[in-house]
């Protein structure tokens, strides 16, 4: 299955182009599901009332479903309350009813990830298109499963669970605190759920598609987004430039606006030389209904497959870790850990080693990676950002590095 995650700055038209991408896929014969959040924008674009219970038919081959984060939160909370019923009874706590529960901030992210995992596992679809939140929020959301799994491993190490049979002895002899078994069972369940979501995000068929307008700061606005996505290993397959006016207008006002857009379009192509940039024409009004969505691709390449050759090449390498170790011991006496960071700038770039981990910060985004085994026996000797990649230099530690015979 292919999964296309559509995001971009707020107001750029990502919901419209997510719907257009899904419709274009259906027009080419694919079985397509469009997943949307609780926003009313997709419903207005599709002219269709969407259900959270099941997929709603929109056009031949195209279905859409709305994610109800509030309902998902209530289901999860009530399930937790049932599992913890005995402990709550001991505390004298009164259980909460479903009709008095309101979702907490952050529940939208978990509901979207759950829906992504569920629909990706279905055999009913060939293409899954997801109308994602704004770009910054999307980057953090896609990084969430790996981050939470790391927290779980640090707070509840699996190896301590193996010692549960010794808990009574340890408690009597040494007073060693051991977490309750139910805590480990919950952690194991969360780990399984998060790992399943992570597999969907890391799947070679999953990509991110960026939507932007052709404003004067469009290229600058995409830089931190592309860098943040690359930091977490997310693949950007295309940039959709929305609401482009026709060129060659006799009206001076429209001609000036079109000229400004063409300059911004040129800057976007220069900023993203490694990514397909697709132009989407302005219809002169806000698109509404299937016919308007069809017009967005009239005379151009279908949005569901901007560049097949580019997509196939990217998919072939997507399963490989983009952070690669380059051996330069023979020539320079160092190892390089190369981190692709297109769009990154030296300002706001941070690098810290913590034991066997490295912390890389790019603007508002941060990622922690465990060092490969060879690099754990080295010290960080420097780093440099060049041609869209961060090269972290490691020098072998004489006290740890195997000595030559």
In a domain, 80, yes or no: no
State the Cα angle at 117 between 112 and 121, rounded to 5°.
145
* In-domain check, residue 392: yes
Q: Give the pLDDT score at 306.
A: 46
In a domain, 404, yes or no: no
Angstrom distance (rounded) from CA 132 to CA 121: 19
pLDDT of residue 307: 45
CA angle in degrees (0–180, nearest 5) for 337-340-344: 120
Are 354 and 214 within one domain?
no
The H-assigned helical ranges of 48-99 are: 69-83, 85-91
Task: Give pLDDT tens digits for 208-246.
Answer: 999 999 999 999 999 999 999 999 999 899 999 999 999
Residue 85 forms part of a structural domain: no
* Cα 30 from Cα 396, distance rounded (Å): 52
Q: How many helices (H) and strands (E) does the chain have?
A: 15, 15
- Positive or negative torsion for Cα 123, 129, 131, 135: positive
Same domain, 258 and 367: no
> pTM of this prediction?
0.86
d(CA 133, CA 144): 14
Structurally, the chain folds into a number of domains equal to 2
Determine, yes or no, domain membership for 403. no
User: Which pLDDT value is given to residue 308?
Assistant: 44
In a domain, 84, yes or no: no
- 311 and 354 housed in the same domain: no
Domain of residue 36, CATH code: 3.40.50.300
Alpha carbons 282 and 246: distance in angstroms, whole number:
8
State which residues form the domain around 373: 324-396
Amino acid 338: pLDDT: 96
Last residue of a domain, one of 316, 349, 367: 316
Give 165's DSSP letter.
G
Q: Are residues 53 and 198 in the same domain?
A: yes
What local confidence, expressed as pLDDT, does residue 51 receive? 78
Which of 316, 341, 365 finishes a domain? 316
* Last residue within a domain, chosen from 290, 316, 342: 316
- Whether residue 282 sits in one domain with residue 214: yes
89 lies in some domain: no
CATH value at residue 388: 2.60.40.790
Long-range CB contact pairs, 292-297, < 8 A, 24+: 293/16, 293/19, 293/20, 293/23, 293/45, 293/46, 294/23, 294/27, 296/16, 296/17, 296/20, 297/20, 297/24
Residue partners of 339: CB distance under 8 A and separation at least 6: 231, 322, 323, 360, 389, 390, 391, 392
Residues 308 and 163 in one domain: yes
Strand order in the sheet with 365-370: 349-354, 357-362, 365-370
Same domain flag for 247 and 380 = no
**Same domain for 230 and 269?**
yes
Give the number of C-alpha atoms closer than 13 A to the C-alpha of residue 347, restricted to the C-beta side.
2
Residue 309 confidence (pLDDT)? 45
Low-confidence ranges of the chain (pLDDT < 50): 170, 174, 176-179, 306-311
Residues 6+ apart with CB under 8 A from 110: 69, 72, 76
Alpha carbon distance 399, 377 (integer Å): 8
Is residue 401 domain-resident? no
Q: What does the pLDDT look like over 373-389, one tens digit per residue?
A: 999 999 999 999 999 99
Same-domain check for residues 107 and 60: yes
Residue 86 has a pLDDT of: 59
Q: What pLDDT does residue 209 have?
A: 96
Q: Are residues 228 and 344 in the same domain?
A: no
pLDDT of residue 88: 56
Residues 198 and 334 in one domain: no
- Residue 154 shares a structural domain with residue 136: yes
């Amino acid at each position: 299955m292919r999964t296309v995650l559509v995001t971009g700055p707020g107001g750029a038209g990502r919901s419209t182009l997510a719907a257009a991408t899904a419709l274009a896929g259906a027009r080419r014969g694919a079985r397509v599901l469009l997943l949307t959040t609780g926003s009313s924008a997709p419903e207005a674009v599709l002219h269709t009332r969407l259900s959270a219970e099941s997929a709603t038919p929109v056009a031949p081959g195209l279905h859409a479903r709305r994610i109800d984060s509030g309902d998902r939160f209530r289901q999860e909370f009530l399930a937790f309350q049932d599992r913890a019923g005995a402990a709550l009874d001991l505390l004298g706590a009164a259980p909460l009813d479903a009709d008095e529960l309101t979702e907490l901030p952050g529940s939208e992210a978990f509901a979207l990830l759950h829906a992504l995992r569920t629909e990706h596992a279905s055999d009913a679809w060939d293409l899954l298109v997801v109308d994602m939140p704004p770009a910054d929020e999307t980057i953090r959301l896609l990084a969430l499963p790996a981050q939470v799994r790391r927290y779980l491993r640090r707070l509840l190490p699996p190896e301590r669970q193996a010692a549960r049979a010794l808990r009574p002895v340890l408690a009597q002899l040494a007073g060693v605190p051991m977490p309750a078994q139910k805590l480990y069972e919950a952690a194991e369940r969360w780990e399984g759920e998060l790992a399943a979501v992570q597999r969907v995000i890391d799947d070679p068929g999953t990509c991110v598609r960026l939507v932007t307008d052709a404003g004067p700061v469009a290229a600058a606005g995409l830089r931190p987004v592309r860098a943040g996505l690359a930091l977490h290993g997310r693949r950007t397959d295309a940039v959709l430039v929305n609401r482009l006016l026709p060129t060659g207008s006799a009206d001076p006002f429209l001609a000036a606006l079109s000229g400004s857009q063409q300059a911004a379009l040129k800057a976007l192509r220069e900023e993203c030389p490694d990514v397909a940039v697709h132009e989407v024409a302005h219809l002169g009004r806000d698109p509404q209904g299937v016919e308007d969505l069809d017009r967005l691709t009239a005379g151009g390449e279908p949005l569901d497959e901007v560049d097949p050759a580019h997509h196939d090449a990217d998919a072939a390498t997507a399963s490989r870790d983009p952070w690669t170790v380059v051996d330069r011991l023979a020539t320079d006496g160092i190892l390089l850990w190369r981190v692709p960071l297109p769009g990154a700038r030296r300002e706001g770039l941070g690098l810290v080693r913590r034991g066997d981990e490295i912390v890389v910060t790019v603007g508002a985004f941060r990622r922690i990676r465990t060092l490969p085994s060879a690099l754990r026996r080295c010290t960080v000797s420097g780093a440099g950002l060049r041609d869209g990649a961060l090269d972290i230099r490691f020098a072998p530690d004489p006290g740890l590095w195997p000595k030559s015979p």
